[in-house]
A and B are shown apart, each in its own frame.
Chain A
Amino acid sequence: MSMTASASIILAAMVAGYAVAKILKLSTELSMLAAALVGALAGGAGFPARHIVEGAFTYLDICLIFITATLFMNLLMESGGVAFVVRRILVRFHRHKAVLFVMLAVLLLIPGALTGAGSVTVLIVGGMVATILGYMGLPKAKAAAIVFVIAGLSAAAPPVSLWAMLTAAGVNMPYVGFFLPLLIPCVLLALLTIFILGWKAKPADLDMALRELPEAPAGMNWFKIAAPFAVFFALVVAGRAWPFDVPILGLPIIFAAAAVVTIALSPRRLDVLEIARRTVHQLLPLIGTLTCAGILVQIMTLTGVRGLIAITVVTLPLLIVILSLFVTLPLSEAVLMWGAAPVLGVPLVLLFNTLNMNPVIALAGMSIIWPLGDAIPPTAIIGRLTVETVGLKESYGRFLRACLVPAVLIVVVGTLMVFFSKKLAFLTVF
């Protein structure tokens, strides 16, 4: 049998395994694992314990970044720091809709940018931002759409953009030069999203909003909020400015250091152990996805399925590839979550590389489209999480319709970035 035929059969078996697991109401993570196990069996590899566990190791370091970054954010929230910032911003700017929108967009961008996870944005600031938007007269579906879309952009935003990191790692390309190509579209699109969807908003009803927002504890101040961020950025900058004098710290320890500062400065006594336990539980769908995606990719590589997908993608006409990104990227995200980056992102970047396009800009463009898939079933993890956090009572379809305009904008910008990657290469300075 030819390799194409055998890999196609194995791929079909894996898809069937995934579908059956989903029908049996298994979570997406376990369905990915089921697909991997079926693939290994169909590929004649039996139950390859070493490969399964080796695949599970693929994103260990990224899981550590996730856990420490989210712990830092959760500690900041529990210490009352986030509520303090939201209340202060509201009090200061409630009469100025435009300024308030800019502040809220920035607030939504930070947690996801630092952690690489849109869900962290939703959990840390999503609820509070939605409350303010509600008191500005926005319907819940629109507020939820603003939180979801900007949370997705925050995940793609630098410094931690998992789609870009995972794909770059898969093609032995440095995760360097991505800062501006990710930052500029993410910030611009976030602002466009909040202004377009919030067009009909009125200035916020201050008293009502303040009554509903969580209280900030006495003793909280700007210094206590800024200090952990200052430590975080100081350590990152020190590592870059004096790389031969500062020991290699790595992002997990840098986030852990920021977390320690947050604990030390918190006006509230924090039950750190319980917060850490809850953080791990809250992250289970995400680190579970990364682990199972690693296993799936390992088995796909072992059995030739990854090669089949790669060779199929790189031999398609370029224009078709680029023009179908708006469907393929969100759909792959909906099925595989971050697993889409190594499975689909890697061959796409290889193709762009071979055709002399700028892989950094093209990958950055793809990275802003991917998160849109987080609203699409079967997974829709972040979409559902947003709807729950915001407390949307209407149908999920209404929320999806509200996301449509910014989603189209994002797709257009992302696709244009891929198309004109060479012309935008000047952005890849650091």
Chain B
Amino acid sequence: MTRKILILALGALLAVFAGLGFYNIRHLREPVVLGPGVAEVKTLSEYFPALKGSVNDCNIYVLGNAKPGGTILILGGSHPEEPSARLAAWVMAENGMVDQGRVFIAPSANRSGTKVTRPGGAYPASYTIPTPWGGQTFRMGDRWASPLDQWPDPEVFIHYPSRQNLAYMDVRNFNRAWPGRPDGTLTEKTCYAFIEMIKKEKIDIVIDLHEAELQYPVISTIVAHQKGADLAALASMVISGEEFNIGVENSPKALRGLSHREIGDATDAVSLLLETPEPFLDATRGRTDAQLLLTGQDEFVVRAGKRGLLFEKIDKKGWPIDVRVGRQTSTILTLLDLWSQDHPERAILLKDVPKYAEVIAKGTGAFLKDPKAADPARIRYE
């Protein structure tokens, strides 16, 4: 009996330590210091009240109310394990100013997915971006929503409404559940709420920010719905000429549930998806930690590249987070420039957001604001 109690006590100790870790990360507060451009902070449930009180009732930062124009929605954190997406959204919400039109930013579009890490993935629980005032810590997150918020998974996930069969865990994948439905799973309801929002706010462009493993063929590119094919192609040419190489791909019509396909089909908006390289996601990656996440340097991934197994170049310098965040902000700014030239009456003039070279030169942290120095009324938590 003593032995049993001892073994049980050891187990309890392990469970308590791990349980506390899980609890603390799920409840870690990530501050957003509202930039001067933020006119309003909405919540997703304003567009679909059934989400009120749920974990996915995320904040939406609305920039600009000076001059009427077009409207854009930026989705960060569709897959929270792709950090440049959330960080780029943060940088824009804390720094952006809008002279014409409106910019909607959702840094945690799939909030449930920010609160969990993948079993077997050995992800760090969080990561810290160095800033001039110390550093800001973010939840690592996963590709899928937490089973604590949506459980069980089906035997096979059948996408609504196309009936395409997908892996069972993709039932919790925010970027496989578009366009969603009001009486579906939490993930489907979240997508549905965004679709309602896009319709109600007459959003012209939706940009969904992502990162990809280098072994994945869709990488360093803009995936565009046919409505946005010209815009994306032009942006790709301009950016590749002036800043860095970025491709363009058409959203496949047969691949259902993804934002670039379904938002474009279900609403009047042009839907685009951006991918930057994230070696941390590669299956051949070596030691898995926050350093790999932020530097993107990995010897094994480089070896895979030398064997021609990758779809993007990688060398010793890796893919640092600042490069990836800079790619996101620069691509968005270029897309908006080109859109505004073409649609003067629906122009969206966003400024004070750093471009690629500036993010690399100063670091992402230079564009994150110190919550301790901010007016508490101008702080929101993700």
A and B touch in the complex (CB under 8 A): yes
Contact with A along B291-323 (1 / 0, CB 8 A): 000000011100110010100000000000000
In Å, the complex CA distance between A294 and B19 comes to 17
Task: Name the A residues within 8 Å of B15 (CB-CB).
Answer: 53
Given contacts A174-B166, A248-B154, A347-B284, contact A311 B171 (CB under 8 A): no
Residues of A within 8 Å of B288, CB to CB, are 301-302, 304, 307
Q: Digitize A340-351: 1 where CB-to-B-CB distance is under 8 Å, 0 elsewhere.
A: 001000110011
Least CB distance from A228 to B in Å reads 17
Number of interface residues of A (CB under 8 A): 60
Given contacts A3-B298, A50-B125, A311-B304, contact A303 B287 (CB under 8 A): yes
Asked whether A250 is an interface residue with its Cβ less than 8 Å from the other chain, the reply is yes
Interface flags, A214-257, vs B, CB<8A=1, else 0: 00000000000000000000001001100110001111111000
Contact bitstring A242-283, B, C-beta under 8 A = 1, else 0: 011000111111100000000000000000000000000000
Distance of A82 from chain B, by nearest CB (Å): 25
Binds B, one of A19-27, A164-172, A412-420: A164-172
Chain A hits for B153, CB < 8 A: 61, 248, 250
Given pairs A61-B153, A174-B156, A304-B286, 18 additional interface contacts (CB within 8 A): A50-B17, A54-B119, A55-B122, A60-B119, A176-B156, A176-B166, A176-B167, A240-B158, A248-B152, A252-B152, A253-B152, A298-B122, A304-B288, A304-B300, A307-B298, A315-B307, A347-B284, A350-B215
Say yes or no: A354-B163 contact (C-beta < 8 A), given A49-B17, A253-B152, A303-B287.
no
In angstroms, Cα B73 to Cα A58, docked, is 35
Evaluate whether A307 and B285 lie within 8 angstroms (CB atoms) in the complex, with A2-B299, A53-B18, A350-B215 already known: yes
Interchain Cβ contacts under 8 Å between A and B, 6 examples: A176-B167, A248-B152, A249-B155, A304-B285, A304-B287, A346-B283
- The CA-CA distance from A33 to B236 in the complex, in Å, is 50
Q: Is the C-beta of B136 less than 8 angstroms from some C-beta in chain A?
A: no
Contact indicator B152/A43 (Cβ below 8 Å): no
Q: Are B155 and A3 in contact (CB under 8 A)?
A: no
Interface size on B, residues (CB 8 A): 49
Q: Please give me the 3 A-B residue pairs with the lowest Cβ-Cβ distance, nearest first.
A: A250-B152, A53-B18, A304-B286
**Min distance, Cβ B314 to any Cβ of chain A, angstroms:** 13
B161 surroundings in chain A (CB, below 8 A): 244
- Residues 20 to 56 of chain B near chain A (Cβ within 8 Å): 21-22
Which A residues contact B (CB, under 8 angstroms)? 2-4, 6-7, 43, 49-55, 57-58, 60-61, 159, 168-176, 236, 239-240, 243-244, 248-254, 294, 297-299, 301-304, 307-308, 310-311, 314-315, 342, 346-347, 350-351, 354, 430
Which residues of A have CB within 8 Å of B289? Answer: 302
Asked if A174 and B167 make an inter-chain contact with CB atoms under 8 angstroms apart, the answer reads yes
Does B300 lie within 8 Å of A53, measured CB to CB? no
Contact with A along B151-193 (1 / 0, CB 8 A): 0111111101101011111110000000001001100000000
Pair A55/B181 contact, Cβ less than 8 Å: no
